[in-house]
A and B are shown apart, each in its own frame.
Chain A
Amino acid sequence: MTSAMTDNVPATATGCAIPPESAKRIYARMNDIRNFENKVRECFAKGEIPGFVHLYAGEEAVAVPICEQLTDSDQITSTHRGHGHCVAKGCELNGMMAEIYGRATGLCKGKGGSMHIADVSKGMLGANGMVGGGLPLAVGAALRNRNLKTGDITVCFFGDGAANEGTFHESLNLASIWKLPVVFVCENNGFGEATPQRYASASPTIAERASAYNMPGAQVDGKSVVDVYTTVGEAIERARNGEGPSLIECHTYRMYGHFEGDEQTYKAKEGDEKAFADKDCIPLFKEYAVKHGLFSQHDADEIEEASIERVEEALRFAQESPLPSADSLFEDVFS
């Protein structure tokens, strides 16, 4: 691992490790997440979507470049803010939108909703409404990878707030003593609900907790696709080589509220926090990619248009899909 892993300042890009094909897919998926989320937000405001909806918008540069480096048989665990992880891991937008609409054609037949979208066949082990609930699951998936010697690895996404749950402690300790192929990715967006991370966590950074588990820890600018790609890429490499787990803290920020309806009075209106909030990872990446010749402006235009079309199509699909049948209430409790 580079020294960035233990450095206190976000790493900066030193070159481009991202192949052009990957860069295009990354850009497409970042757009898919943003467009999908904006659409969900719009339909939630119209009252078409019920329940709790936690949007990932603004954090695309975390999940997407990480999942780009995973195969379908690698697993990820997710959070209540899971739409982004789903898209990044390759879940179908149609099935996702239908799920959020509670339709029979949803990825979970409409029985899970926003907080539980899953597609195990894609290695997406489910959005998870329990904060900290995904960490032990990731340890288990990684244990399976170790025992069955499949070469698969597991990426565990969790928030800065989740890092104060006991499951964080137990899971990192277990993964370390068993040297499991897992990468713990903390999405530090500065808040757990309305509570700042700097109040809730005794340690200034989450990354520095890695040393308590004898594993490498690093911080990275979570708005930079390249930084995330590179640093987490090294951790993924470590995991694949059987060198054990790592903890990477990605500094990011929610574009919207904790959930839809949140007035966000706790967000800074000026200063460093506001400046960081205003950095948008999507145009930043486009600019970088075009400048470094990963794709052209024309490619970008095409990708953007196609993404909008996909999301429109997903919405149509969801809206036209049937509700689940009454019988399905009783199904799927046991195999």
Chain B
Amino acid sequence: MTDEFEMQETEIQTRLAAEALIVDVDGFEGPLDLLLTLSRTQKVDLRKISVLQLAQQYLGFVERAKKLRIELAADYLVMAAWLAFLKSRLLLPPDPSEEGPSGEELAAHLAFQLERLQAMRDAAARLMARDQKGRDFFVRGLPEDVSRIRRISYSATLLDLMQAYARLRTRDEFRPYVMDRNAILTMEQALERMRGLIGYAGDWTALESYLPEGWETDPARRRSATAASFAAALELAKLGHIEIRQGEVFAPIQIRKKADPDG
């Protein structure tokens, strides 16, 4: 008695729901959405849904819509045609000569699509229920400006390095003979060099020691460097930066920084 009453109640609700569906047809996002809503009236796990029953529900819905002269979009009608086809496949015994997928396969795929759509809707709901930036958690309100610096990075490979070295070390091997100007130190160079060094030598220092490294051994370079350094020393003495002395003829020439007149 109670059961029967409940059943009647459910039927009424289902019918009301179905009518509400028709009125709300614009609210559906296409036939799949509608099918999903209809499938809920079966009140079973989507995996156990009866596709045949669902097809009937859908076709019934389309029928009623027609009666109410509700114009359905083309895709609803395409779906109806397809479901009618599916229904016939499911009801008729399989014809072995017929090609293509069986009714069960098609039904299983439809069930899968519905389950997948539902799963995505649930996932979307869970996503939106998460704590969200700007609503539940917040970023730094006063970010500090980061100044941008353009840095130039120089690239060189190991090969570049080795080739450069190889080039330098083997240059002599293929160099045609010319007058070697490598052996000449200009007075300007000597002057610049001495200016930089004079501060380091506190006391009297032989002029010879100011010759650039590597210029002391080769006679040609030594001559050039000595002459240039001597000229440079005279120039510095003239400018009042250094003092020069020589103990006796041919004795080493010595120089030292002139004491600061203030100190």
A and B pair up: no
Q: Which residues of B are at the interface with A, using a C-beta cutoff of 8 A?
A: none
